[in-house]
Amino acid sequence: MSPILGIIASSNFQRVTNSYASIATTTVGGGGASSITFSSIPATYTHLQIRAIARSAGGSSEDEYRIRFNSDTGSNYSWHYVLGNGSAASASAASTTERIQIRQMPTTAQAAGFGGLVLDIFDYANTSKYKTTRALGGYDVNGSGTISLNSGLWQNTNAITSISIANERTVNFVEYSSFALYGIKGA
């Protein structure tokens, strides 16, 4: 029997409609917020995902997210990113840092607009391995902006029970910034 190709194959595909479960959502109110924390995360999922739409109150042209797990401020994190803005690309990395840094987020110094972020946290409850992350973030401001692909490592085997998200430059997230935490079910 020959393989099924194209549109016929996609019509026979079993769709999974309940793979993601909403755990918590936070929307920043008036006055802003210096950080967002998801705590008491249940260990009943395979992976976690955070989806954010955010903007920084910072005065620079763009800011970064700072991620920590279980209130750990030790130098046991690493991160990497590749960044593009339509005319140039750059990359950077750091190890033995006290957070995972994720690029990019627009600020109030730029034209009005929010940036998007999707952060995956793999095997967050597995106590036999270090935790890894993958993120896609970026924004557009009237034809300019950036997009980045990020990876991170938390060198700790503890299950992740809380996640703290702050601005790398310790300024507030502005009103209407929104963060949602999802649990991803395994097969």
Q: What share of the chain is helix, strand, coil (3-state, %, to 5)?
A: 5, 50, 45
pLDDT at 3: 54
Collapsing DSSP to helix, strand or coil, 147 comes out as strand
pLDDT at 86: 84
Cα distances (Å, whole numbers) of residue 35 to 27, 145, 158, 164:
11, 23, 22, 7
pLDDT at 147: 92
Cα distances (Å, whole numbers) of residue 62 to 68, 114, 155, 167:
20, 11, 28, 11
Which residue ranges make up each domain of the chain? 19-133+141-184
For 19-133+141-184, give the CATH class. mainly beta
Per-residue pLDDT tens listing for the chain (187 residues): 555 554 544 455 455 556 889 999 999 999 999 999 999 999 999 999 999 999 999 877 778 899 999 999 999 999 999 999 888 999 999 999 999 999 888 888 876 689 999 999 999 999 999 999 999 999 887 778 889 999 999 999 999 999 999 998 888 999 999 999 999 987 5
pLDDT at 74: 96
Amino acid at site 71: S
Rounded Cα–Cα distance for residues 175 and 187 (Å) = 37
Q: Are 57 and 107 in contact (CB under 8 A)?
A: yes
pLDDT at 45: 96
Q: Are 25 and 180 in contact (CB under 8 A)?
A: yes
SS3 string, 148-170, reads EEEEEEECCCCCCCCEEEEECCC
Q: Are 170 and 64 in contact (CB under 8 A)?
A: no
pLDDT at 187: 58
